[in-house]
């Protein structure tokens, strides 16, 4: 069982450090220290056995300073308001790092999705959407898939939200299927974005990917996409874990074959030619690149010292605690922070939203080209901030993001454009 810790306190600490450096005005500091809105709802559905059950759902909007809130919806028995607030805040910073005109939001429903039928999940999604419908919408707050939700869930949200309206509001959710208003390239966008950042940095650092040993936590949307891309680039994936357990193979695991296995078995355990391994075993393996792509807090004070990887590429949101970050800094391990590394998903979500609102369809090539451009610009901005402030990559990403959101707030609140531009360039 993973150790419980306060995720919102984690993200607040990261924000506070950046705010300190930027000497944020007290009102901006206070405004960004707490979410703008937290809504708790209790949707009730009839289960397949005929019994009613009431669930708890939350939607948090951390900031709308730069645009409508944007963020995923997570189904999990093991989540909380603190986690939802943290995930919403991370979305604010992530959207600002890659400069898309969105704020940060997040939703969770406390449920056990692996033990619910499709019908139960659909009814729960409908009830949750109807319960939060007043605060969401294409220009208010846009949802997306996260852990244990997917393109089907997004289609149900569009359907429920559009119920009783004169038109379908496709732009209320992104990460939809291409047959239902989705964008080409969205499914693998987060993994693709992760890979672009890793590839570019590896050139910058002369750290060639070929034959590099990789270990991955999670083999869902993000974990499986990045696994396939690093495999294609010549890396050797020596271990992968999922919620049920893990597998290791020194000679390498083929993620394409593993995908076929997982599609049938719904878990990675037992895949041909592999030995079992758990999360802690994977985290401490001698490898070059460690990719957390599952839940938050998996790299923490208890295991950070045992990490032998040279690079940690954060696919998950909040996989590394502050305490662990300090240890990794001392060990000179390069951590490519979540708010930059996994932003490819929201970059393409922005393109999907644009396509829906303008009723156009971009080719996959166009989507990937635009997303790569955004990610590369964000990477250059973060590297420049790192150099200027002599800080870690995470600290630089936060400084950049907080500065951009603060500037937006300031402009909107006081309209003293000239003064701000003269001061901040």
Binding residues vs ligand NAD (CB under 6 A)? 2, 145-148, 190, 217-223, 241-243, 279, 293-295, 315-317, 342, 345
Q: H helices within 78-171, ranges in order? A: 81-97, 118-132, 151-162
Taking the alpha carbons at both ends of the chain, their separation in whole angstroms is: 49
CB of residue 193 to ligand NAD, shortest distance in Å = 9
Give the shortest CB-218-to-ligand NAD separation in angstroms.
3
Structure tokens at 284: 């401490």
Burial 278-305 (b: 16+ CB within 10 A, else e): ebebbbbbebbbbbbbbbbbbbbeebbe
Phi-psi region of 61 (alpha: psi -120 to 50; beta: other; left: phi over 0): beta
CA atoms within 13 A on the CB side of 63: 30
Q: Closer to ligand NAD by CB, 234 or 270: give it.
A: 270
CB of 83 to ligand NAD, least distance (A): 10
d(CA 98, CA 115): 37
Q: Which of 35/220 has CB closer to ligand NAD?
A: 220
Tell me whether residue 126 or residue 219 sits nearer to ligand NAD (CB atom): 219
Whole-angstrom Cα distance, residue 414 to residue 87?
A: 29
Cβ closest to ligand NAD, residue 63 vs residue 225: 225
Strands of 334-336's sheet in order across? 275-276, 245-248, 236-242, 213-217, 289-292, 311-313, 334-336
In angstroms, give the least distance from the CB of 297 to ligand NAD. 10
Report the C-alpha gap between 141 and 122 in whole angstroms.
Answer: 21
H or E element that contains 37: strand 37-41
Between residues 63 and 192, which has the closer beta carbon with respect to ligand NAD?
192
Q: How far is the CB of 97 from ligand NAD (least distance, A)?
A: 13
Q: In whole angstroms, give the CA distance from residue 131 to residue 194.
A: 34
Q: Which residue is nearest to ligand NAD (CB)?
A: 220
Q: Reply yes or no on whether 106 is catalytic.
A: yes
Least Å distance between CB 30 and ligand NAD? Answer: 27
Q: Which residue's CB is nearer to ligand NAD, number 45 or number 217?
A: 217
Q: CA-to-CA distance for 190 and 285, rounded, in angstroms?
A: 25
As measured in angstroms, the least distance from the Cβ of 20 to ligand NAD is: 27
Residue 295 three-state SS: coil
User: Smallest gap, in angstroms, from Cβ of residue 210 to ligand NAD?
Assistant: 26
Rounded CA-CA distance 130/336 in Å is 38
Question: How many H helices and E strands in the chain?
Answer: 15, 14
- Tell me how far apart the alpha carbons of residues 401 and 18 are, in angstroms, rounded to a whole number: 9
Query: 141-155 burial, b for 16+ CB within 10 Å, e for fewer?
Result: bbbbbbbbbbbbbbb
By beta-carbon proximity to ligand NAD, the closer residue of 24 and 296 is 296
- Of 131 and 282, which has the nearer Cβ to ligand NAD? 282
For the record, the structure tokens of 383 come out as: 């590297």
In the three-class reduction of DSSP (H, G, I as helix; E, B as strand; rest coil), residue 307 is classed as coil
Looking at 70, 85, 106, 407, which residue is catalytic?
A: 106
Q: How far apart are CA 198 and CA 209, in angstroms?
A: 9
Distance CA 295, CA 90 (A): 14
Q: Which residues are catalytic?
A: 106
């Amino acid at each position: 069982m993973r150790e419980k810790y306060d995720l919102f306190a984690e993200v607040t600490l990261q924000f506070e450090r950046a705010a300190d450096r930027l000497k944020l005005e007290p009102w901006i500091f206070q405004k960004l220290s707490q979410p703008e809105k937290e809504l708790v709802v209790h949707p009730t559905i009839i289960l397949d056995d005929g019994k009613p059950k009431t669930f708890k759902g939350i939607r948090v909007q951390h900031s709308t300073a730069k645009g409508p809130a944007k963020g995923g919806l997570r189904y999990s028995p093991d989540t909380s308001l603190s986690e939802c607030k943290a995930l919403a805040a991370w979305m604010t910073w992530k959207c600002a790092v890659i400069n898309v005109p969105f704020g940060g939001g997040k939703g969770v429903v406390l449920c056990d999705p692996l033990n619910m039928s499709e019908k139960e999940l659909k009814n729960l999604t409908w009830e949750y959407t109807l319960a939060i419908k007043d605060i969401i919408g294409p220009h208010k707050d846009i949802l997306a898939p996260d852990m244990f939700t997917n393109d089907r869930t997004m289609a149900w949200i569009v359907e429920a939200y559009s119920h009783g309206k004169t038109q379908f509001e496709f732009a209320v959710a992104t990460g939809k299927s291409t047959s239902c208003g989705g964008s080409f390239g969205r499914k693998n966008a987060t993994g693709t974005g992760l890979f672009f950042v890793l590839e570019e940095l590896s050139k910058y650092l002369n750290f060639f990917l070929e034959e590099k040993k990789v270990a991955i936590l999670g083999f869902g949307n993000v974990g499986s996409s990045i696994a396939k891309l690093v495999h294609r680039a010549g890396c050797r994936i020596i271990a992968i874990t999922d919620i049920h357990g893990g597998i290791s193979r020194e000679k390498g695991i083929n993620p394409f074959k593993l995908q076929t296995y997982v599609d049938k078995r719904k878990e990675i355990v037992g895949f041909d030619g592999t030995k079992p391994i758990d999360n802690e075993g994977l985290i401490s393996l001698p490898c070059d690149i460690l990719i957390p792509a599952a839940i938050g807090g998996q790299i923490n004070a208890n295991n950070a010292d045992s990490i032998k990887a040279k690079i940690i590429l954060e696919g998950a949101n909040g996989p590394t605690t502050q305490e662990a970050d300090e240890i990794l800094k001392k060990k000179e391990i390069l951590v490519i922070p979540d708010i930059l590394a996994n932003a490819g998903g929201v970059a393409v979500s922005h393109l999907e939203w644009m396509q829906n609102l303008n009723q156009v369809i971009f080719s996959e090539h166009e989507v990937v080209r635009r997303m790569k451009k955004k990610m590369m610009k964000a990477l250059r901005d973060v590297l420049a901030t790192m150099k200027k402030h002599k800080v870690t990559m995470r600290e630089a990403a936060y400084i950049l993001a907080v500065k951009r959101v603060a500037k937006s707030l300031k402009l909107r609140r006081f309209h003293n454009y000239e003064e701000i531009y003269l001061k901040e360039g």
